[in-house]
Structure 1
Amino acid sequence: MELPEQASTGPQDAIARLPHEWEQTVTSWGEPAYRGRQVFEWVHRHGVLDPAEMSNLPKALRARLAEDGVSWPLELVSSHVSDDRTNKLLVAMPDGERVETVLIPQLQDLSVVTQCVSSQVGCAMGCVFCASGVAGLKRQMSAAEIVAQVLLGRRELESDQRIRNVVFMGMGEPLHNYEALARALVLLTHPDGIDLSKRRVTVSTSGLVRQIDRLGRDFGGQVQLAVSLHAVRDEDRSAIMPINRKHGLDELMACLRRYPLSKRQRITIEYTLIKGVNDSVADANAMVSLLRGIPVKVNLIPMNPISASDLRAPDASHVTRFQERLTQRGMSVFVRKTRGDDVAAACGQLAFHGEPRRTRHTSSRG
C-alpha cells in the first residue's frame, strides 16, 4: 500500500518516519542515505532515541539529531501490576492527555507477551459497556504515539520477555483513526525495526464498514481482524453500540463476507456477555444463523464491571451454557480469561480516572 508521506512535524513525530523518509531527512543534512536507515534501526529495532548512544553514526550526525532529530512523544506516568502479572501502563503525552496500554504475559509461558495498545484519547463510539468512551473522543493519537507505546512497553519487560503480539484493543476505535493506524501497522511490522509478524497484529473494530473494506484492501490476508459484535439483533445492538444505527448487522455481515482472508485465516468475533441483555440460548442460536458462511472464531468475554454502568456479566453457568450451544452448532468458541481486572486493565476497563501517582503499584488482593 502507498502511505502518505510523513509530514516534517518535529522530533516527537520522528518515530513515525519510515526508512526512506529518514534517508530523505539525513541527505537533506548532507549525510549519505544509508545513515537514515541506521537511524531507523536504532529507534525501532533497539529502542534507542538518544543520539549519543547511536554508536555507529558520525559525530556530526549525532549532534544534528540531538538538535532536531527524534524524541519520545509520551512518557510513563505509572505502572500497575496485577496478581496475574498483567501490567497496565499509564502514559502521558506532551499536551497532558493520557492513555493506557497493557502488557499481558501468557499464563503458559510468561516470556511471551501480548501488548494491548490505544489508538485514540477516549472514543467516539459510545458503547455502553466500555469505559473508554464515557468521556467521548478527546483527540486522535498520532502514529508516533501509537508505536511509542510498544517501544516503551519493551522497556518495561523482564529480561527474558518479548512482545510477540500487538492488539489494537485499548482505548479508541482504531479504524476511526485510519491514517495513523495504517502507518503504525507498517512501522510495527517493518523488518528493519520491531519486525512483528503481521499475523501477530490484530485490529479490533466496532464495525466501521467502509474502513473495514479499506483495511481489507491495504492489509487483508495479513494482519488479523477482530469485530466487536456483542448483540445479534439490530434493536439490541443499537441499544448498546450506537455505531449499529449507522451500519446495521446486514451491512456489517455483508462486509465481513467480502473481507479478504488468507487460506487458514478467520475473523475473530468478540462478544461481551451481559446479564439479561445478550446471554440467552436464543441469542446463541441467532448468532449461529447470523455468522453462517463467514470464517470466524468466537471470543466470549464475560463483561468486566465499569463504574459508569450497572451492567454485569452473567454467572459462570450461563457463560458455559452459551458456549456449549455455539459449540454444539459447530462454531469455534473460546471464553476469554479475564486478565488484569484487579487493576482495571481488563477488556472494556481502560480509561483515565483522576490524577495518578508516579509510583509502581503491585496488587495484593487475595
Structure 2
Amino acid sequence: MHPVARTPDEWRELLTAVSERPFRAAQVFRWIHQRGVMDPSAMTDLGRGLRERLGELGLSDPLTVREVRRSRDGTRKLLLEVRGGGLVECVLIPMSRPGADEEDADAAAASLDPDDVPNSRERVTLCISTQHGCAMGCVFCASGRAGLQRGLGPEEIVAQVLIAKRYLTPEEDLRNLVFMGMGEPLQHYEVTRRAIELITHPDGLGMSPRRITVSSVGLVGGIRRLGEDFAGKVGLAISLHAPDNETRSRLIPINERYPVEELMRALRAYPLPRRRRITIEYTLIDGVNASLDHARRLAILLRGLRVKVNLIPMNPVEGAGLTAPPAAAVAAFRAHLHAAGVSCFVRVRRGDDVDAACGQLALKGEPIRLRRGRPAD
C-alpha cells in the first residue's frame, strides 16, 4: 500500500510494529495530509530513524505535475503523470467572480454546512479524476475515447487535492470537491470510498463530506453503497442526459445494464439530508436530446424527486460531431422545466479555452460517434 493511502490507524499499526511510539502515526499523517509534505527529510519533528523508514516505505508524490494551463476565466487545469506513464487531469474552478450567476448561488445553497465559518476569500471548486481513461463510453465525453487504461489508487486521488492546493493563491479557499473528472468514480467503489475517508479525516484535509459530490453515469450498486456508507452526507450527481431508454442508451451504453427506471428507483432510495438535493446533469445536444418533448418527458421522469437539473450545452469535443443547440433552444428547454416546477440552471462554460470544460478532459483520440445497438459488457 502506498504511504499516502494509509489511514492513521494503519500508520499506528505499522509504526508500533517497528517500535515507534503510537503518537508518531498522527504526526506522519498530518505531515502528509495537512501540510502536503511528501519528502520525509522535511518532516522536522520526526526522528532521523523514522524519516529513513518513511523513505524506505516509498513515501513520495504519487503524481508528477507535467503542465498547468490557465484559462482566461481563472480556471486552472493540471496535467498530472501517473505511475507507469499517462496523464490524468484535475481542474481548479473559481466559483465567485464579478457577474457570478445563479449557478454559483445554487451550488452554494446545495452545500450548506453548519460548521461553516464565513470568510472573504474567493471560493474554488476542485474537479478530480478517479481513472486514467474511462470504460463508460459516453459519446459526448472525451475521457472515454481511448477506453479505460487503469483505475487510480486512493493515493493518486488524494494527491490531486494535495497538489492542487499548492496552486491556490492566499486569496482563494478550496470549498468544494467534485468527483467529475476522468473516469467513473463508482466503478471501483472501494477506492473512491477510501479516498473520501482520507480527504475527510479530521487529522488530514478535514473536508466536510457535505462539500464533496460524486458524479456517476448511474451504477446502481455504487449509488446504494455511497448512500449507506456516508448516510447521504456526500452529494450525488447523476449523468442522465436523456429521459428515455432509447436515447440514453445511444448516449450512455451502460444504460442497457441499468435502465432509466432502475436508476430512478435508486435515486428515490438515496438518503438525502434536509436541504440537500441530487444533481441531475443533462448535456444538451442539438438534434439528439434537446427538444421540448425531451424537456416534457424529463419533467415527468423527475416528478417527486428532490433534484436540481444542471443543463450543459454541449462543449466542443474534437471528432465528436455533436454540437450544442442554439441559445434560444436552451432557454426554451430551461423555461419548460421551470414551468413544470423543476429547479434547473444552465452551467456557465468555464475553462473551454484550455480544454477543461465539462466533457473535455482527455487526450486526443479517435472520433467518437453515437452508438447504436447493445454495448459491450
TM-score, length-normalised on structure 1?
0.91
Is contact 1:76–1:91 with CA below 8 Å preserved after alignment?
yes
Give 1:314 deviation, angstroms: 0.6
Instruction: Show the counterpart of 1:341.
Output: 352
Q: Secondary structure at the match of 2:186?
A: helix
| 1:17-63 Cα distance to aligned partner (Å, 9 max, x none) | 11111111211221111101110001001111112221221222122
Give 1:213 deviation, angstroms: 1.0
| 1:146-186 Cα distance to aligned partner (Å, 9 max, x none) | 10011110111112222111100000000011111000010
Give 1:93 deviation, angstroms: 1.4
1:294 is aligned to 2:305: yes
Superposition pairs of residues 1-366 of structure 1, within 5 angstroms: 9=1, 13-108=2-97, 111-353=122-364
- Runs of 4+ in structure 1 displaced over 3 angstroms? none
Is contact 1:73–1:94 with CA below 8 Å preserved after alignment?
yes
Q: Secondary structure at the match of 1:42?
A: helix
Q: Secondary structure at the match of 1:176?
A: coil
Instruction: Write the distance in 1 (CA, Å) between the matches of 2:176 and 2:253.
Output: 29
| 1:278-331 Cα distance to aligned partner (Å, 9 max, x none) | 111111111111011111011101110111311100111111111111111111
| 1:175-225 Cα distance to aligned partner (Å, 9 max, x none) | 011111000010111111111111110000000111111111112321100
Is contact 1:120–1:177 with CA below 8 Å preserved after alignment?
no
Instruction: Show the counterpart of 2:113.
Output: none
Instruction: Write the distance in 2 (CA, Å) between the matches of 1:247 and 1:272.
Output: 19
Q: Secondary structure at the match of 1:30?
A: coil
Instruction: Write the distance in 1 (CA, Å) between the matches of 2:69 and 2:239.
Output: 27
Is contact 1:99–1:171 with CA below 8 Å preserved after alignment?
yes
Is contact 1:221–1:265 with CA below 8 Å preserved after alignment?
no
Segments of structure 2 that go 5 or more residues without pairing to the other structure are 98-119, 366-377
Give 1:139 deviation, angstroms: 0.6
Is contact 2:96–2:122 with CA below 8 Å preserved after alignment?
no
Q: Secondary structure at the match of 1:314?
A: coil
Give 1:258 deviation, angstroms: 0.8
Give 1:94 deviation, angstroms: 2.2
Instruction: Write the distance in 1 (CA, Å) between the matches of 2:63 and 2:279.
Output: 31
Is contact 2:141–2:359 with CA below 8 Å preserved after alignment?
yes
Q: Secondary structure at the match of 2:290?
A: coil
Q: Secondary structure at the match of 1:77?
A: strand
**CA separation of 1:69 and 1:142: change in aligned 2, threshold 3 A:** same
Q: Secondary structure at the match of 1:148?
A: helix
Q: Secondary structure at the match of 2:227?
A: helix
Is contact 2:3–2:57 with CA below 8 Å preserved after alignment?
no
Instruction: Write the distance in 2 (CA, Å) between the matches of 1:31 and 1:222.
Output: 36
| 1:248-280 Cα distance to aligned partner (Å, 9 max, x none) | 111111111111111221100000000111111
| 1:73-112 Cα distance to aligned partner (Å, 9 max, x none) | 1100001000001001100012002111111112338731
Q: Secondary structure at the match of 1:300?
A: strand
- Percent sequence identity over aligned pairs: 53
TM-score, length-normalised on structure 2?
0.89
Counterpart AA for 2:208? S
Instruction: Write the distance in 1 (CA, Å) between the matches of 2:53 and 2:173.
Output: 32
Instruction: Write the distance in 2 (CA, Å) between the matches of 1:292 and 1:124.
Output: 31
Instruction: Write the distance in 1 (CA, Å) between the matches of 2:127 and 2:90.
Output: 6
Counterpart AA for 1:35? R
Q: Secondary structure at the match of 1:312?
A: coil
Counterpart AA for 1:155? R
Is contact 1:131–1:308 with CA below 8 Å preserved after alignment?
no
Q: How many residues align?
A: 343
Counterpart AA for 1:272? T
Instruction: Write the distance in 2 (CA, Å) between the matches of 1:297 and 1:161.
Output: 27
Give 1:69 deviation, angstroms: 5.0
Q: Secondary structure at the match of 1:163?
A: strand
Counterpart AA for 1:128? V
Is contact 2:226–2:232 with CA below 8 Å preserved after alignment?
no
Instruction: Write the distance in 2 (CA, Å) between the matches of 1:165 and 1:127.
Output: 25
